[in-house]
A and B are shown apart, each in its own frame.
Chain A
Amino acid sequence: MKEGRPRSFYVLAIFFAAYVLFLYGPMIAIYVLSFQGPQGGLTFPMNGVSTFWIAKLFQGTGIVDLGAAFRRSLLLGVIVMIATVVLSVAAGMAFRRKFKAQSILFYSAIASLIVPSIITSLGISLEFRIIDDLIKAHWNENFETSMGLLTSGLGAHLTWTLPFGLLIMFAIFNRFDPRLEEAARDLGATPWQTFRHVVLPIILPSVIGIGLFGFTLSWDELARSSQAIGAVNTLPLDLQGLTTTVTNPDIYALGTVISAVSFAVITLALGTIHMLNKRQAAKGSDAGKGLV
């Protein structure tokens, strides 16, 4: 049937390439521009090449206290990542069997994903304001606020990352062979041993994927943080604040630094996943492949 590629292949290949250029082109432009010379402005052409703006960022002479925001975002990102992985894997295991609140949990996750972020964010901020008012009225008049990075902020981020984690778990168990667990059980493994030595190693690459989503979505989160983060700012909030005021490449330098962290995490995660897959292919058992 096939003699070479059809013409539509080449048309769509060009279309796809143009889309990828559209995706990456502008991003690359600001990475390049953040290496402007000290006299450089917000646009091309480059006015010399230097690390002036990036260095300025780390000296703390810029507009934002980068160091503090950086540490806050990193802390929150790591906690969100761990919580997303643990809660998603646990809930994903629960969904393999029928349980009562199954569809409530499912629809909560989907709704959390598609209800506009500003509404969720506003709701969380109202909730914490009301809690604060109650505490002030009944217990402690001098109470400041219960809103904060690791209370309302953490909750807001989890409403965004957990649905992704759960959907990835669904995808994993859709193609998981339950006979592997049966085999482990037949050989006398306890349920915990079955999970630890059979299920977990098989799903580990995808679990790292959940972690990747958890961290990066939190690291860049903006809409849900906007009302719910409390008094302090995360890095993306600082960056957004700069968009209305800045007239020099500071903002590109900050963008480049934030992206560098994202890319480091992405590379680390994808590298680990690749390594695990390779090891599974080389050393994994042939269970489920033969004798069927």
Chain B
Amino acid sequence: MDMSEEVLQEATPGLLPGSGTARAAKPTRLSPSFISWLQAGPMMLVFLAFFLIPLVFVVIVSFWDYNEYQLLPAFSGRGYTDTFEGCIAQLPDLCTIGKTYVMTLKLCFMVWAITLFLGFWVAYFLAFHVKSKTWQMGLSLLCTIPFWTSNVIRMIAWIPLLGRNGLVNSGLMKTGLINHPLEWLLFSEFSVVLALVHLFTFFMVVPIFNSMVRIDKSLIEAAYDAGATGFQTLVNVIIPLAKPGIVIGSIFVITIVMGDFITIGVMGGQQIAAAGKIIETRVNALQFPAAAANAVILLAITFLIITMMSRIVDIKKEL
């Protein structure tokens, strides 16, 4: 497709009548709406083929039957009943899926709270204390560069520090604070949370920073002039105005942790069960309908969380 067709008349919207009459009026020119389709169509097609239709397949397959080695395209609730097996029988104890979701939500909450704290203050420093634009750019870039490098490498990077003979353990042993190496430093919930915070605080910093730089500085001066303390200004002026960024950052972090299976796998020593990991396990066992059923459940819970959060802020207006 010639690019010139795509951008033809880019600068002259509205000069021509709508698509219905365009051909009759000026046969050599394409109507603006047709050009929009040419421009946006390819991206739409990619999302259709590799995101929207696959999601539909996930829902459909979750209602299919299966045996040890293949999919059986016949309606069955087995994917779901297998997933919730024993959930009623074992009451009041939680069944496997229940425990897994409690664990996932717990990780989610811890990572969210820590990334929010870190992200907020990093963004605050960049937005309000760094005055020169060049420095602001440079320091933001410093925070962004790790995002462009491999996540797995950033996970492995903790091994020489937290391992049994790692820097932390040998340091603590030398100072005599402990006699035996601490076992919970690596391949534990602690290392999972640490790695998730390490990887994804970036997703909190960017939107909060974006909200903060848009705050009119005179509002803050006005608050001071009216006698507000630094803390009052923070709580009553800055936090409310930074709220859109906080909500968007929170949505990113929560959805990432909800679906994560790689960080939890690598840093948890493949021992911690989480929502994303069940899907992976089921796929590896070739139980696709069960994997799909778990994906539908995860999607529903994620969607619920996002809906609740986007009640607080209109995402489209903030981008």
**Bound-complex Cα distance A87 to B3 (A):** 11
Whether B154 sits at the interface, judged by CB under 8 Å, is yes
Task: Across the interface, name the chain A residue whose C-beta is closest to B6.
Answer: A90
| Chain B residues with CB under 8 A of A60 | none
B157 touches A20 (CB 8 A): no
Known A101-B44, A105-B40; contact A120-B157, beta-carbon cutoff 8 A: no
Whether B307 sits at the interface, judged by CB under 8 Å, is no
**Bound-complex Cα distance A74 to B298 (A):** 33
Whether A258 sits at the interface, judged by CB under 8 Å, is yes
Whether B291 sits at the interface, judged by CB under 8 Å, is yes
| Chain A residues with CB under 8 A of B295 | 118-119, 122-123
Task: Across the interface, name the chain A residue whose C-beta is closest to B251.
Answer: A114
Stretch of B76-84, B90-98, B135-143, B237-245 on the interface side: B135-143
Q: Give chain A interface residues in 252-269, CB to chain B under 8 Å.
A: 252, 255, 258-259, 262-263, 265-266
**Bound-complex Cα distance A162 to B43 (A):** 8
Known A114-B255, A195-B10; contact A220-B315, beta-carbon cutoff 8 A: no
B36 touches A222 (CB 8 A): no
**Bound-complex Cα distance A112 to B44 (A):** 12
B39 touches A222 (CB 8 A): no
Of A95, A216, A243, A270, the residue contacting B40 (CB under 8 A) is: A95
Whether A30 sits at the interface, judged by CB under 8 Å, is yes
Interface string of B208-230 (1 = CB under 8 A from A): 00000000000001000000001
B198 touches A116 (CB 8 A): no
| Chain A residues with CB under 8 A of B113 | none
Whether B52 sits at the interface, judged by CB under 8 Å, is yes
B interface residues, how many (CB within 8 angstroms): 98
| Chain B residues with CB under 8 A of A216 | 148-149
A interface residues, how many (CB within 8 angstroms): 106
Provide the main secondary structure of the chain B interface. helix
**Bound-complex Cα distance A104 to B40 (A):** 11
A239 touches B153 (CB 8 A): yes
A108 touches B52 (CB 8 A): yes
Q: How far is the CB of B206 from chain A (nearest CB, A)?
A: 10
**Bound-complex Cα distance A223 to B143 (A):** 22
B145 touches A20 (CB 8 A): no
A118 touches B259 (CB 8 A): yes
Whether B306 sits at the interface, judged by CB under 8 Å, is yes
Of A126, A158, A263, the residue contacting B50 (CB under 8 A) is: A158
Whether B86 sits at the interface, judged by CB under 8 Å, is no
| Chain B residues with CB under 8 A of A251 | 156
B44 touches A105 (CB 8 A): yes
**Bound-complex Cα distance A262 to B151 (A):** 12
| Chain A residues with CB under 8 A of B159 | 30, 42-43
**Bound-complex Cα distance A214 to B118 (A):** 27
Given A105-B47, A110-B315, A255-B157, list of 6 further CB < 8 A pairs?
A27-B157, A41-B165, A43-B160, A43-B166, A127-B54, A194-B10
| B interface residue numbers (CB < 8 A to A) | 3-4, 6-13, 32-33, 35-40, 42-44, 46-58, 61, 71, 118, 121-122, 124-126, 129, 139, 141-143, 145-146, 148-161, 163, 165-167, 170, 198, 201, 221, 230, 251-252, 255-256, 258-262, 266, 270, 276, 279-280, 283, 288, 291-292, 295, 298-299, 302, 306, 315-316, 319
